[in-house]
Structure 1
Amino acid sequence: MGRGIAISALRRAAAGSARGRSHRIMLTREYCDDSELSRNSLVHEEGNRDNGSNISGNCIQSKSYFSRCSYSPKSFIWSRNLSSHVRARLGQKDDDLENGFSDLDVLSEADSIVEPQEEVDDDKSISEIEGEMSEEDPNGGTNDLLSDNESDSSFQKITKQKSILSPLAKIVMETPQNSLNSALDKWVEEGNPLGRGEIFLIILNLRRRRLYWKALQFLEWVEANKRIELVERDYASRLDLVAKGHGLEKAERYLEKIPENLRGEIVYRTLLANYVTANNVKKAEDVFKRMKELGLPVTTFSCNQLLLLYKRLDRKKIAEVLLMMEKENVKQSSFTYRILIAAKGSLNDISGMEKILETMKDEGIEPDLMIRTTVAKYYIFAGLNEKAEATLREMEGDDTIENSNARKFLLGLYASLGKEDDVRRIWETCNSNPRMDECLAAIEAWGKLGKVENAEEVFENMLKKWTKLGPKYYIGLLKVYADNKLLAKGKKLAQRMSKDGCFIGPQTWDVLVKLYMGAGELEKADAILHKASQQNKNNKPLYTSYIALLEQYSKKGDIHNAEKIFLRMRQIGYFGRVKPYQALLQTYVNAKTPPYGFRERLKADNIIPNKAMAAQIAATDAFRKTQISDLLD
């Protein structure tokens, strides 16, 4: 049963071997169970077809193909668990785990700052409550300016450098945009060198600071002055910056300007990743289909992007992508497994999650640190603390001091289990010379345990050691204050952030909203979010900020304000998910007011209600006939 879960996702045998052939045949058959997905995967409900859902052109098997498959009733069917299982189990919690283990692709303020003495390639963790699922694209993101003929070792050498800014990098960072070109011209006129490695590090630092417009300006200057010979990755990097700085519509227009011979898979997958970040299913599928039509290779990265998108918005389509990967013989990465594990875990399908792990091990693949972290978190979420602790012991290994990469994850996980002694033990192994990410993990861990003074002590010690901190460390402590309902301390820290010159953006707004909500000041939280969105057109507030406000208005039965927040979410581009509609419907229920026309709203927005939502709609139907109404009529 365990092997049937993963199709080719968990197959590493050579395509030509007999074992590989039989494995593919067996797994393909298992996908063809009489589940709702495999028989009619492109039709959601009641004959309503989702336009653009045929993600891979002709690579997905047709219905006639499915009809020829032999079914195995004993097989563990991924598709069954992502269709009928979703409807049955997620009656209460279909979207609830968006708040628990969501996957926000966009680099947060926290991840966008390169700190003094902090390594550029610092691993990103999945935070305990807002788990971040992202895949670093070495071509469109971090590795944007390395040419094809540069070796991986040279890239590693660059990215392992400490992020102390070079003289030119300081000029770029500190010079206003309207004077930047002149400053760069002067630098070159003075005979200073400017090679690809220097350019790469400057772009990387600008990206991590979310200074996309300045990064784009710098890259345009590099191109205009012919400082390097541009390759496809350079164009992909520029397209990515256009998308982030000016929007996806302009990014599409820029793509058409790229020389045709350099408009390849790397460029298109960069556009695809940006549409996935924007949760735009239709556009993402269109880009993927276009890549197929152009004969571009189907890569692991592109498939993972689709899996990530469907994990969030349409889990039924995960099986389609896995079938396509099988047909196209696309190799799966550890990130593919993470997505599958997270998809199972988010359904609270612990058995299915464990079967993926078993199959990985059967194929000789050991789960990496991030996969173990993800598994441990879902065990904790499911209340399986013993299994979680066993996983943490495996992560620790024989020597916690030597296994330094795991410490920042262990701090948060032990805190989630309420294990104060273990948090203290792990922190003691870091405390003599802690890394910045470990300090942040310690702040968050102490906050979860309600040890506010401990969290504050770590933060103040960081300021003594590093003098200037980026916003993510302030945000970490601000979250502690929000979680512990310490409004006065939170306000004081927010003012300190501003005074210390920190970038105030979506992550900060999100915590401030929750800080004021926790103190019962809902109107103030609403005002903060609205002002932030009006004053900062280039950075929109997080989805979680809006959904938190919407749910609070829903609990109060405040239809006017709930509808207001719902409208703002649509205007800013946060639509297509079930959760906002659920919260809005619940508002009407709590207000004891019939939600007239709600079915039509869902249909117009192409939203398919889950089982619980459909039942709720039926129960609130103002024109629904009951036995007593029939008798009285």
Structure 2
Amino acid sequence: MMWALRRASNPIKKGLSGKTYRLVQAPLEVARCNLDRHIAGFYESVLVVSDESLFGARGFSSASGSQNLFTGVRCFSSQAGTQSSGEDGDDLEDGFSELEGSTDADSIQHKKVDDDLTSESELSGEESGDDTIDLPEDELNLLDTESDANEKKLYRKRVHSELFKVISAAKNANLSGVLNKWVEEGNEVTRKEILLSFLNLRKRHMYFKALQLSEWLESMKHLEFSERDYASRLDLIAKVHGVAKAENYLQKIPKSFKTEVIYRTLLASHVSYMNVKKAEDVFNKMKDLGFPITSFSCNQLLVLYKRTDKKKLTDVLLLMEKEDVKPSPFTYRILIDAKGQTNDIHGMEQIVETMKAEGVMPDHETQVIMARHYTSAGLKEKAEAILKEMEGNDLEENRFACQSLIPLYAALGKAEEVRRIWEVCGSNPRLAECKAAVEAWGKLQNVEEAEAIFDEMTTKWTKLSSMHYTVLLKVYADNKMLAKGKDLVKQMANKGFRIGPLTWDAVVKLYVETGEVEKADSVLQKASEQNRLRPMFSSYLTIMEQYAKRGDVHNTEKMFHRMRLAGYVSRLRQFQTLIKAYTNAKAPAYGFSERMKADNVFPNKGLAAQLSLVDPFKKSVVSDLLD
């Protein structure tokens, strides 16, 4: 079976370089892993981007240096939790002064993870618009024993907690005092209340408050920390303060609790930042410590290489075969998505057949991925066939599928099908279905319909987040409706929303779509200066690509530099965009190959051809003759 998977993936390359070589070739003196215990199937996901880390759909965190975060999917988390002092005096830009001084410590930086593996998509370079796996929330990744089955079920249900209500209503700066008062009033801090609170906070991407809760529980000795509690704290620190801070925290964890779950949490954090070297170092550290090679850890590498170097996917499959690690459903999903991204539909279908042969039938999430890639490849009939399978015999009984079907039919341009599915939602649509419908009608350029559903949302739910408003803002951006976009941002400010990177990204796109690239640049620059939240990768890249199209080398290089300052590791996508600027400007690119090597980035065939066009030392046929 693993042979079939490897055959369907990239051809095996001869050897690997550096640490990666150890992943496949070095002897592994580890105990055979208990697959029943460690394979969590769909829940073994790393979120995006940007989409979307181990526990979140695709978020990025604020941090200095180059080790910043899906999750992106996972995408992929919220940023540093302190708000602006409010003393920033300069307006941002022409009608968007509402962005000034706003922070969103509890907002996400990704669509669903959406990109991730999905969609706001892993919030980074090649992931933007490419990745299509909608990953689940995360606390489940720490639930890896049979005794945790009930906790997994709790996560998938709507769970209520009095402690969570108190936390969500409290101000960040006063959370500790509010919690102390809650206890003084006679409320008991039980393990169940704590679990439900963390699950609710993570579901809503309120990572800063989750971290505060974790710190309060430890300081007030309300909780005797287990390995999972330490792992959760490690993940939250990575999301809120960056992976470098998480690595520092790892040194403080008692040795007896530095188990596999701790290191795999750190591994997933590095993967969410797409830091190949750091992730490989942690993986090899886990091997050196004698931890078993699990499908979870291998899936992290598959996610990493799917985003950075698909040729290495085969190497991970070789390792899994050697260590007798059984692929999980998520393993198949990563490989299916990787094939779809390269438009290798035949290869994608081969992996699906291999999956079925092993008795693993495509689940809802896998069907979504396949439908998206069929649509992107122009295979509408195959896409529609998948959608009919997703609907089943009774869509009302299969109601959960509606939120996926609505945007998928919109991508096919099937307005009548979107309306049909929306009617199934009836007079009592769910919030996720409304969000999907707003996006769908926007994609179909029916702005009035999108606005009508958005109005329905605001009427039915009085406590919407900035994320829901940003959905409509993106509709305005896609349809080049600058004035309406400005008005919507003003509404958000008037309602007291703390505006963060997701909204900035929509505003950047709004200006770019209306041809005002310089204003988009200015908004992003001032937003990043006045807030402690890091803008999304896609925000920088959107502007960078516009400058490159113009052949504006100076400003393209400027955006490249700003991305590095923001902590984004240089990748092939940035260099492709940068060389496009030099090509369009017909300017020589001195030392470009050396720059790429310094960042451990190597050109593919397309980029190598571009480089040859701007190589100042390239010899022509005539010069060769003269020499």
Whether the TM-score (by the shorter chain) exceeds 0.5 is yes
Q: Are 2:198 and 1:203 aligned?
A: yes
Q: Deviations over 1:411-467 (max 9, x none)?
A: 111111111111111111113221111111111111111100000000101111112
Relative to 1, partners in 2 of residues 1:158 and 1:426: Cα closer, same or farther, differing over 3 Å? closer
In 2, the alpha carbon distance for the partners of 1:245 and 1:365 equals 37
- Give the counterpart of 1:106 among 62, 71, 76: 76
In 2, the alpha carbon distance for the partners of 1:351 and 1:253 equals 46
SS in 2 for 1:257: coil
**Aligned residues of 1:344 and 1:353 also touching (Cα < 8 A):** yes
Relative to 1, partners in 2 of residues 1:60 and 1:548: Cα closer, same or farther, differing over 3 Å? farther
Q: CA deviation at 1:158?
A: 6.1
Matches within 5 A, 1:182-331: 182-331=177-326
In 1, the alpha carbon distance for the partners of 2:223 and 2:318 equals 41
- When normalised by structure 2's length, the TM-score is 0.81
SS in 2 for 1:401: coil
Q: Are 2:22 and 1:54 aligned?
A: yes
Relative to 1, partners in 2 of residues 1:375 and 1:59: Cα closer, same or farther, differing over 3 Å? farther
SS in 1 for 2:14: helix
Relative to 1, partners in 2 of residues 1:578 and 1:282: Cα closer, same or farther, differing over 3 Å? same
Instruction: Give 1:388's aligned amino acid.
Output: A
Q: CA deviation at 1:565?
A: 0.1
Q: Aligned residues: percent identity?
A: 51
Q: CA deviation at 1:54?
A: 3.0
**Aligned residues of 2:119 and 2:134 also touching (Cα < 8 A):** no
2:590 paired residue number? 596
In 1, the alpha carbon distance for the partners of 2:501 and 2:25 equals 37
- Give the counterpart of 1:152 among 139, 142, 149: 149
Q: Deviations over 1:541-564 (max 9, x none)?
A: 111111111110001111110010
Q: CA deviation at 1:250?
A: 1.9
2:4 paired residue number? 5
In 2, the alpha carbon distance for the partners of 1:177 and 1:302 equals 34
**Aligned residues of 1:105 and 1:132 also touching (Cα < 8 A):** no
In 1, the alpha carbon distance for the partners of 2:273 and 2:288 equals 23
| Count of matched residue positions in the alignment of Structure 1 and Structure 2 | 550
- Give the counterpart of 1:578 among 572, 582, 590: 572
Instruction: Give 2:619's aligned amino acid.
Output: K
Q: Are 2:496 and 1:528 aligned?
A: no
2:87 paired residue number? none
Matches within 5 A, 1:54-453: 54-55=22-23, 58-59=26-27, 104-107=74-77, 126-127=118-119, 129=129, 131=131, 133=133, 135-136=135-136, 141-142=139-140, 150-157=147-154, 160-163=157-160, 166=162, 168-453=163-448
In 2, the alpha carbon distance for the partners of 1:147 and 1:551 equals 42
Q: CA deviation at 1:172?
A: 2.3
Relative to 1, partners in 2 of residues 1:232 and 1:104: Cα closer, same or farther, differing over 3 Å? closer
Gaps of 5+ in 2: 30-71, 80-103, 121-128
In 2, the alpha carbon distance for the partners of 1:3 and 1:324 equals 10
Q: CA deviation at 1:53?
A: 5.1
Q: Deviations over 1:336-383 (max 9, x none)?
A: 111000111111111000001111122222100110110111111111
Instruction: Give 1:615's aligned amino acid.
Output: A
Q: CA RMSD in A?
A: 3.0
In 2, the alpha carbon distance for the partners of 1:502 and 1:53 equals 48
User: Which shifted more, 477-486 or 466-475?
Assistant: 466-475
Q: Deviations over 1:252-295 (max 9, x none)?
A: 12112212221111111111111111111111111111111111
**Aligned residues of 1:444 and 1:455 also touching (Cα < 8 A):** yes
Q: Are 2:600 and 1:618 aligned?
A: no
Q: CA deviation at 1:135?
A: 4.8
In 2, the alpha carbon distance for the partners of 1:564 and 1:602 equals 17
Relative to 1, partners in 2 of residues 1:300 and 1:111: Cα closer, same or farther, differing over 3 Å? farther
1:550 paired residue number? 544
1:82 paired residue number? none
User: Quick one: higher RCO (CA 8 Å, sep 6+), 1 or 2?
Assistant: 2
Q: CA deviation at 1:611?
A: 0.7
2:14 paired residue number? 39
**Aligned residues of 2:73 and 2:116 also touching (Cα < 8 A):** no
In 2, the alpha carbon distance for the partners of 1:584 and 1:388 equals 35
Q: CA deviation at 1:576?
A: 3.5
SS in 2 for 1:399: coil
Relative to 1, partners in 2 of residues 1:235 and 1:60: Cα closer, same or farther, differing over 3 Å? closer
Q: CA deviation at 1:588?
A: 0.9
SS in 2 for 1:39: coil
Q: CA deviation at 1:406?
A: 1.3
In 2, the alpha carbon distance for the partners of 1:169 and 1:363 equals 42
Gaps of 5+ in 1: 8-26, 43-48, 62-101, 115-120
Q: CA deviation at 1:630?
A: 4.5
In 1, the alpha carbon distance for the partners of 2:501 and 2:544 equals 17
1:73 paired residue number? none
Q: CA deviation at 1:105?
A: 2.7
Instruction: Give 1:189's aligned amino acid.
Output: E
Q: Which has the larger radius of gyration?
A: 1
**Aligned residues of 1:444 and 1:477 also touching (Cα < 8 A):** yes
In 2, the alpha carbon distance for the partners of 1:225 and 1:57 equals 47
Instruction: Give 1:54's aligned amino acid.
Output: R
Q: CA deviation at 1:598?
A: 1.3
In 2, the alpha carbon distance for the partners of 1:577 and 1:123 equals 17
**Aligned residues of 1:233 and 1:266 also touching (Cα < 8 A):** yes
In 2, the alpha carbon distance for the partners of 1:131 and 1:628 equals 46
In 1, the alpha carbon distance for the partners of 2:594 and 2:116 equals 42
Instruction: Give 2:565's aligned amino acid.
Output: Q
Q: CA deviation at 1:202?
A: 2.4
Relative to 1, partners in 2 of residues 1:507 and 1:108: Cα closer, same or farther, differing over 3 Å? farther
